[in-house]
Structure 1
């Protein structure tokens, strides 16, 4: 793509994206749609096909991304995957990295983010921003994600125009790890909201009223929210594909909340209860089903 006065093309940073899952594919596509050249990599190359057709360059491994890109975006499943992408034999740490920057959209433990960032900086001079997101696949597709970031303020401003091609909001929350800590607060609210909305929706259904009308009836009142408007219709209508998020993902985050809460002597009774509901959901429905399938736990006849 040609360089223009809008900051794209030859005047833009060279971008890379690692991890093309439920969030990575639509986020990377928005960078392409914004006119940025993009190198991509994923363990399963098949997931990259649509992005290659849209103009992305598929490379052989994470190291190839680090060699070609000055800003490297990443969204993988957990801290183990982050560790492998960064420090594996063909990882980001295997090439000189001074002046380059990793923006990690993954949701991992704040301590893991701080540790990985420090080790990478020591290994090759590459800087790190932990930047978990909220808004789900719908937000990724529509570019309405909220991004909460930890890292150096100068680095945050450097990546801002590129992040805002994928998101509606980028908030600098503090030093490395602060983005992950903010995401945990987000997950306390979202996880508890899912559990409470499943309970309210089942109560309405069992009492004989049209649970599908709850979003309309409560709109504008104190109970109104984006989760109410988005989650309840999906629960009532049994819409779980594609999933808004996997049970295993929200459970991982709520278990991390419990770990941080113990370390900081913070009582989290509601988040702990929500975690147990999702743990039941994982046992009954499976790890990779839509998190909203916890609604089915309270109805024995649901399939």
Structure 2
């Protein structure tokens, strides 16, 4: 484990607990990404420059590594080849939602995120996560650029 991560968390003694924690984390990340994509489309439609949105978000309580990275990729128009393929997030959200269904836990935000990622994966199957923003931008008719 030390070869692939500098931080190792022991999450339980029961087999599968690591996968369960990962499903929780991916549900959260999917929600953060989706909210960021929607904020980017809203800012674009309103005429807010991408750099302004990034500067405000990245220095506020709304910022996070996930949101900041997503905004950087969006305003730089880097939608392919960034190492964060949409198919991986789609798979991870599928795992999260399957686990939630098995346990009877409603995941409203993760379900909405999955729909956005499904739209992105359908339209741009070779894209990275940020490509979802392009789908939203096409709907609103505006692009967020630096």
Normalised TM-score (structure 1): 0.43
Write out per-residue CA displacement over residues 239-283 of structure 1, whole angstroms, 9 at most, x where no aligned residue: 134233211111111111111111111010110111111111111
* Contact map agreement 1:243 1:290 (CA 8 A) in 2: yes
Partner of 2:118: 279
* Contact map agreement 1:234 1:240 (CA 8 A) in 2: yes
SS of aligned partner of 2:97: helix
* Contact map agreement 2:45 2:142 (CA 8 A) in 1: no
Question: Quick one: structure 1 residues 302 and 211, their matched pair in 2 at CA, closer, same or farther if it must change by over 3 Å?
Answer: closer
Q: Is it true that 1:252 corresponds to 2:91 in the alignment?
A: yes
Structure number with higher strand proportion? 1
The separation in 2 between residues aligned to 1:276 and 1:233, in whole angstroms, is: 23
The separation in 1 between residues aligned to 2:59 and 2:137, in whole angstroms, is: 29
Q: Is it true that 1:269 corresponds to 2:108 in the alignment?
A: yes
Question: Quick one: structure 1 residues 240 and 285, their matched pair in 2 at CA, closer, same or farther if it must change by over 3 Å?
Answer: same
Q: CA deviation at 1:231?
A: 1.1
Larger Rg computed on CA atoms: 1
RMSD (Å), alpha carbons? 1.9
* Equivalent residue runs for 1:180-219 within 5 Å: 180-219=19-58
* Contact map agreement 2:31 2:113 (CA 8 A) in 1: yes
* Contact map agreement 1:244 1:291 (CA 8 A) in 2: no
Q: Is it true that 1:167 corresponds to 2:23 in the alignment?
A: no
The separation in 1 between residues aligned to 2:23 and 2:130, in whole angstroms, is: 19
Q: CA deviation at 1:302?
A: 7.8
Partner of 1:293: 131
The separation in 1 between residues aligned to 2:10 and 2:22, in whole angstroms, is: 12
* Contact map agreement 1:243 1:289 (CA 8 A) in 2: no
Structure number with higher helix proportion? 2
Q: Is it true that 1:243 corresponds to 2:55 in the alignment?
A: no
Partner of 1:90: none
Consecutive unaligned residues in structure 2, runs of 5 or more = none
Normalised TM-score (structure 2): 0.86
Runs ≥4 residues deviating over 4 A: none
